[in-house]
Amino acid sequence: MPADMRFERLKRMLGSDALSTLANTHMLVIGVGGVGSNCVVALARGGVGSFTIIDYDTVDVSNINRQALAFESTVGRVKTDVMREIILDINPNAKVKCINIRILPDNVREYLTQNFDYCIDAQDTISTKLSLAAFCEERGIPFLSSMGAANKHDPTQLEFADIYDTRVCPMCRAVRKQARACGIAHMPVLYTPEQPAEVAAAKGAKRSERTELGTMSYMPPIMGQMLAARAICDVLGIEWQR
């Protein structure tokens, strides 16, 4: 199939002008684990033409059940390197910058120096989520954050909300409290009010190993697809109907 047919199905839906807008959109995605890697794949397939990807980790065999970049052949490799290859395999014309660091509150401003059109937060550290939300609010950058998928079963309960309108989710509760203290006015998130399943920690495991956290194979990918859908619609001004 000729290269110009790559996004033909999108063109039928959106038209040439929208495809041009997406091709010129620069997405910042922080964290390419289960949620982030699937989000990036959907964005690349959706015609987004420029990416900055930030992650510090390597592919582990335990990632295979949910991450779009995790295969037997990629175990041990740097996640950002694998993500770049996947993006360019989807769209060789894409521009991809990968930063292999762990982004933390004290280095957000050091690494987020470019002009991004949209920021998707798919990493797990609450303090970093808050720093990213505050940074984007200050700069007027559209921002979307993923809350936790661990120990959840039901993807039909996933929904978008402002952090101040969330309920049940333990991560949301912690983020909500700290967001108020930080003076963050709004923080759009994808979360689920589903009660998390009770999972016992492995006998003898250290608390830092978090063996009480389990993940269904489909929950992070669905969350990643939903984040990509919302971001694309936001960029194109397509009203999101709940």
pLDDT at 48 over 80: yes
Task: Flag whether 18 is in a domain.
Answer: yes
Mind listing the pLDDT tens digit for each residue in 105-147?
999 988 888 789 999 999 999 999 999 999 999 999 999 999 9
Q: What domain count does the chain have? A: 1
Q: How far is CA 242 from CA 136, 153, 169, 187, in A?
A: 24, 21, 20, 18
Confidence of residue 19 (pLDDT cuts 50, 70, 90): very high
DSSP state of 102: -
Task: Flag whether 204 is in a domain.
Answer: yes
What is the DSSP secondary-structure string of 55-84?
---B--GGGGGT-TT--TTTTTSBHHHHHH
Element containing residue 144 per DSSP (H, E): strand 143-146
Task: Flag whether 104 is in a domain.
Answer: yes
- Measure the CA–CA gap between 32 and 98, rounded to whole angstroms: 11
Task: Provide mean pLDDT across the span 82-95.
Answer: 97
Residue 31's CB is within 10 A of a number of other CB atoms, namely 27
Lowest mean pLDDT: which of 7-16, 73-82, 108-117, 184-193?
Answer: 108-117
Range of the domain at 114: 11-236
Beta bridge partners of 160: 190
Cα 122 off chain centre by: 4
Task: Flag whether 4 is in a domain.
Answer: no
Model pTM above 0.95: no
Task: Flag whether 141 is in a domain.
Answer: yes
Q: Which residues contact 64 (CB under 8 A, 6 or more apart)?
A: 70, 71, 72, 75
